[in-house]
Structure 1
Amino acid sequence: MSTSPTPARQAFGDIAPALADYTDQMLFGDVWQRPGLAPRERSLITVASLVALYRVNELPFHLGKALDNGVSRDELIELITHLAFYSGWPTASSALPIARRVFEERGL
């Protein structure tokens, strides 16, 4: 077991340790591990939802998680482009600079 803090612990574990526990155990330990969808599919759904709902705070983490789960840079850009017509131009155009930053941080 890793001794390094989880992303939830790093983000808000100091102020909301119970929420960090729920995030680690329920969300990523249970929901994300359910057998009905592969992690790659869950990442595509999650990124699409975050873009469509303009949840820019969570988007960098989940773009990175999507890349880790096998979603390509090009697929993420296509997802954002596609959503411009369904969730609105502002949501897509707001997601692109965030995606650019995540890609640059990863050298993509």
Structure 2
Amino acid sequence: MAEQSPAQKLIGDFAPKLVQLTDDVLFGDVWEREVLSPRDRSLVTVTTLAALYRTEQLGSHLRRALDNGLTKDELVEAITHLAFYAGWPSAMSAITQLKDIVENQATGTE
């Protein structure tokens, strides 16, 4: 049996159609389009989630951004930049999530 996607693990039994759309359309089509690299898509996604204070989804996308080649320093800079446009609380929330993720990855606890 194939490994379940993150969406399947989270809500597969509860909202199967939303999982299908997430897996097939969002990550299967939109994220795979060639005009923007996965790295660029991650930067756009992280900054949008941070700016809109969508903290529940932000952590997984910060991890994905690091996996897609963005560095900690690039993410810190992007979040610092958006503080002036999206608001200090949004940036502080995003930066503390990033700090926790980076520290946990460094210690192997994530």
TM-score, with length taken from structure 1: 0.94
Q: What's the CA shift for 1:40? A: 0.3
Structure 1 segment 46-57 matched on structure 2, within 5 A: 46-57=45-56
Aligned to 1:29: 28
Structure 1 position 67 matched with structure 2 position 66:
yes
The one-character-per-residue Cα deviations of 1:4-58 (angstroms, maximum 9, x if unpaired) are 1111111111211111111000000000011110000000000010000000000
Greater alpha carbon shift after TM alignment, 62-71 vs 5-14: 5-14
Structure-1 separation of matches of 2:14 and 2:4: 14
Structure 1 segment 1-108 matched on structure 2, within 5 A: 3-107=2-106
| SS, match of residue 84 in structure 2 | coil
Structure-1 separation of matches of 2:19 and 2:59: 18
Task: Give the length in aligned residue pairs.
Answer: 107
Q: What's the CA shift for 1:105? A: 2.4
Structure-2 separation of matches of 1:102 and 1:23: 24
Q: Which runs of 4+ in 1 moved over 2 A?
A: none
C-alpha RMSD over aligned residues: 1.3
